[in-house]
């Protein structure tokens, strides 16, 4: 059993302090010297393997810059990774939970020591500003620390309660399940990537990690940390590649035991479907854990503190340019305070500074051309569906640099069933919806197929209690922003089409990657 202090989330760096800003800028310089331009090969069975083709990361805030590259795995590489991982599983599954957990704790210490480098790399690779990058690296550290401790809970024959029965010993054992693939998105390329591989690994499984195409460098960076921390060869196979090629190959493969996926609803549902089909030679029903998109709404009623509500709306809507599954993309305001709330929201959002992640702007460029085009298309749709209150342009340029820049955009008086109020846009585009009253607001909040995050700004106790039970969201927040779940504090995962509600960073998350065996011995 580990002898360590109780879990406590990392605190965030205060960038109102000048010396912290100076330290961040020094990290940016260091990263520009040491990591920009770097190439990360695949890692199969602990060996670095390069490929003929590569995947390049482009700086979204300055598209003339190639930040670096990774290898691009083929299906042959995926097959080798799968075979090697099963070999590694034979010994890894026998490691004790505390021995496995020590590797996560060591990785956490290594990541803490390189915290600002990881942040700076994300500022350049995906355009995160300082606070957004820092919150993410803190979350990655938290995942390592939290899952290391969680692993203890599943240790030994008596890990779960069973009832005593005369003449027998009965007990439950939690067992690892095998080799799985972890497929992650670009928007939390450090924390979600790392959390989604660390959890199954500490539970005794082996993982093939397939990062998103746009964020291979930060994935390579943290993969190296996991290996430096002492993971045996083959336990973690690093397999950057194209989702539709290697991702598809692995999710449909007979030897894949589990799939943990975080990404868009379309891809997630596709994986759910193909993974359900039993392949020749397949011996199990694949476990599929899906965490998908959202169309997250926050209600403001007539009893709310308007200043609190507007601050929550601006933070929830525009943090990392709205590129969070948790982002507030619908602001639902009760008619009697609609004008007051919306005027203040538009005024505050209009003051946000647009620029690069490296310059610590409030709103930076969106991640890639596909997102840029998609967001532009939705802004066009919005202009036909509602009243444009702010922004509405996609300049594609800022300060003389070409990049995927989209103005913070707000539409008002959006019908609740409009496309911009129902479909995930994943950018800085907000629909404000007018509700007749509180009940109408709650009905509107629940009127999408998603159910990830949600919020209510109100001082009415009865309404908060009603929302507690009736608001369809996996993560519900009152009188604050609806983003920024903290590991262990706000376990994270969505309802309905937002996912399987696996609750990353929650007390039972590791159980997703285990099977239970009941053993009875009669005396």
Ligand X SMILES: NC(=O)c1ccc[n+]([C@@H]2O[C@H](COP(=O)([O-])OP(=O)(O)OC[C@H]3O[C@@H](n4cnc5c(N)ncnc54)[C@H](O)[C@@H]3O)[C@@H](O)[C@H]2O)c1
Under the rule (CB under 6 A), what is the footprint of ligand X?
183-188, 192, 210, 212-213, 243-244, 247-248, 251, 262-264, 267, 270-271, 291-294, 325, 424, 426, 452, 494, 498-499
Q: How many CB atoms lie within 10 A of CB 470?
A: 12
**CB closer to ligand A1AUG, 88 vs 140:** 140
Is 310 or 375 the residue whose CB approaches ligand X more closely? 375
Strands 296-300 and 453-457: parallel
Identified binder of ligand A1AUG from the candidate list 215, 329, 431, 483, rule CB under 6 A: 483
**Minimum CB–partner distance for residue 235 and ligand A1AUG (Å):** 26
Reading the block at residue 195, the tokens are 């959390």
From the list ligand A1AUG, ligand X, none, partner contacted by residue 183 (C-beta under 5 to 8 A by kind): ligand X
Quick one: what does residue 513 bind among ligand X, ligand A1AUG, none, with the CB cut-off 5 to 8 Å set by partner type?
A: none
Residues labelled catalytic: 291, 325
Look at residue 484 and give the partner it binds from ligand X, ligand A1AUG, none, a contact being a CB closer than 5 to 8 Å depending on partner kind.
Answer: ligand A1AUG
Residues near ligand A1AUG (CB under 6 A), total: 9
Q: Which is nearer to ligand A1AUG, 204 or 488 (CB)?
A: 488
Minimum gap (Å) between residue 333 Cβ and ligand A1AUG: 22
Among 484, 491, 493, 494, binds ligand A1AUG (CB under 6 A): 484
C-beta of 142: minimal distance to ligand A1AUG in Å?
A: 11
* Total Cβ atoms within 10 A of residue 95: 17
Closest distance of CB 247 from ligand X, Å:
3
C-alpha Rg value of the chain to the nearest Å: 23
Owner of token pair 């596709």: 270
Q: Report, in Å, the least distance between residue 314 CB and ligand A1AUG.
A: 15
Q: Is 322 in the site for ligand A1AUG (CB under 6 A)?
A: no
User: Which range, of 204-212, 369-377, 379-387, 481-489, touches ligand A1AUG by CB under 6 A?
Assistant: 481-489
In contact, 364 and 59? CB cutoff 8 Å = no
Please, how many CA atoms are within 13 Å of residue 249, restricted to the half-sphere of its CB?
Answer: 17
Contact 194, 144 (CB under 8 A): yes
Choose the contact partner of 213 out of ligand A1AUG, ligand X, none; CB within 5 to 8 A by kind: ligand X
Say how many C-beta atoms besides its own lie within 10 A of residue 157's C-beta: 14
Nearer to ligand A1AUG, 231 or 313 (CB): 313
Q: Per rule CB under 6 A, is residue 325 in the interface with ligand A1AUG?
A: yes
CB 100 within 8 A of CB 202: yes
Q: How many CA atoms lie within 13 A of 424 on its CB side?
A: 24
* Interaction between residue 188 and ligand A1AUG (CB under 6 A): yes
CB atoms within 10 A of CB 285: 10
Task: Work out whether 187 is an interface residue with ligand A1AUG (CB under 6 A).
Answer: yes
CA 481 – CA 484 distance, rounded (Å): 8
**Of ligand A1AUG, ligand X, none, which one sits near residue 485, judging by CB under 5 to 8 A according to partner kind?**
ligand A1AUG
Task: Please give the Cα distance from 61 to 297 (Å, whole number).
Answer: 28
Please identify, using beta-carbon distances, which residue of 131 and 325 lies nearer to ligand X.
325
**Strand residue runs (E) in 109-239:** 168-176, 179-183, 206-210, 236-238
- DSSP letter at 354 equals B
Question: Is 485 among the residues that bind ligand A1AUG (CB under 6 A)?
Answer: yes
Under 8 Å between Cβ of 294 and 498: yes
Cβ proximity to ligand A1AUG: between 100 and 481 the closer is 481
* Site membership for ligand A1AUG, residue 326 (CB under 6 A): yes
What HEC string does 47-116 produce?
EEECCCCEEEEECCCCCCCEEEEEECCCHHHHHHHHHHHHHHHHHHCCCCHHHHHHHHHHHHHHHHHCHH
- Please report how close the Cβ of residue 484 comes to ligand A1AUG at its closest, in angstroms: 5
- Does 450 sit near ligand A1AUG (CB under 6 A)? no
186 binds ligand A1AUG per the rule CB under 6 A: no
Nearest to 89 by CA among 175, 155, 211: 175
**Nearest Cα to Cα of residue 299 among 445, 170, 141:** 445
> Token pair for residue 279?
């392949």
83 binds, among ligand A1AUG, ligand X, none (CB under 5 to 8 A by kind): none
Give the binding site for ligand A1AUG (CB under 6 A): 187-188, 324-326, 483-485, 492
């Amino acid at each position: 059993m580990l002898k360590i202090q109780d879990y406590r989330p990392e605190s965030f760096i205060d960038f109102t302090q000048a010396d912290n800003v100076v330290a961040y800028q020094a990290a940016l310089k260091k990263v520009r010297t040491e990591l920009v331009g770097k190439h990360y090969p695949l890692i199969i069975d602990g060996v670095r393997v390069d490929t003929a083709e590569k995947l390049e990361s482009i700086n979204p805030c300055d598209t003339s810059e190639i930040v670096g590259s990774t290898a691009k795995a083929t299906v042959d590489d995926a097959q080798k990774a799968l075979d090697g991982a099963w070999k590694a599983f034979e010994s890894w599954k026998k490691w004790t939970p505390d021995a496995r957990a020590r590797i996560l704790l060591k990785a956490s210490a290594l990541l803490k020591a390189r915290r600002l480098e990881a942040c700076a790399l994300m500022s350049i690779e995906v355009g995160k500003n300082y606070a957004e990058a820092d919150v993410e690296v803190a979350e990655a550290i938290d995942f390592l620390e939290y899952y290391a401790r969680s692993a203890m809970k599943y240790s030994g024959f008596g890990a779960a309660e069973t009832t005593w029965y005369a003449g027998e010993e009965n007990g439950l054992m939690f067992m690892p399940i095998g080799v799985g693939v972890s497929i992650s998105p670009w928007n939390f390329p450090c924390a979600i990537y790392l959390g989604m591989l660390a959890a199954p690994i500490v539970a005794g499984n082996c993982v093939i990690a397939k990062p998103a195409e746009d964020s291979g460098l930060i994935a390579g960076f943290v993969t190296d940390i996991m290996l430096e921390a002492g993971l045996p060869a083959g336990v973690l196979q690093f397999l950057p590649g194209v989702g539709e090629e290697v991702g598809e190959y692995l999710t449909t493969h007979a030897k894949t035991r589990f799939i943990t996926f975080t990404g868009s609803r379309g891809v997630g549902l596709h994986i759910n479907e193909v993974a359900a089909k039993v392949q020749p030679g397949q011996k199990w029903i694949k476990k599929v854990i899906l965490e998908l998109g959202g169309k997250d709404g926050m209600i403001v009623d007539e009893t709310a503190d308007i200043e609190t509500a507007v601050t929550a709306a601006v933070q929830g809507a525009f943090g990392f340019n709205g590129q969070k599954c948790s982002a507030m993309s619908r602001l639902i305001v009760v008619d009697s305070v609609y004008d007051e709330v919306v005027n203040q929201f538009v005024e505050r959002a209009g003051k946000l500074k647009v620029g690069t992640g490296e310059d610590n702007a409030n709103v930076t460029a969106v991640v890639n051309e596909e997102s840029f085009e998609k967001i532009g298309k939705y802004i066009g749709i919005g202009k036909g569906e509602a009243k444009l209150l702010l922004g509405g342009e996609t300049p594609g340029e800022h300060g003389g640099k070409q990049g995927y820049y989209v103005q913070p955009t707000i539409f008002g008086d959006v019908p609740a069933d409009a496309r911009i109020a129902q479909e995930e846009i994943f950018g800085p585009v907000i629909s404000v919806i007018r509700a007749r009253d509180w009940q109408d607001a709650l009905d509107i909040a629940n009127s999408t197929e998603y159910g990830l995050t949600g919020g209510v700004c109100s001082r009415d106790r009865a309404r908060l209690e009603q929302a507690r039970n009736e608001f369809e969201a996996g993560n519900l927040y009152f009188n604050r922003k609806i983003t920024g779940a903290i590991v262990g504090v706000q376990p994270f995962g969505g309802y309905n089409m937002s996912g399987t509600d696996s609750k990353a960073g929650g007390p039972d998350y590791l159980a997703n990657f285990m099977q239970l065996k009941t053993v009875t011995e009669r005396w």
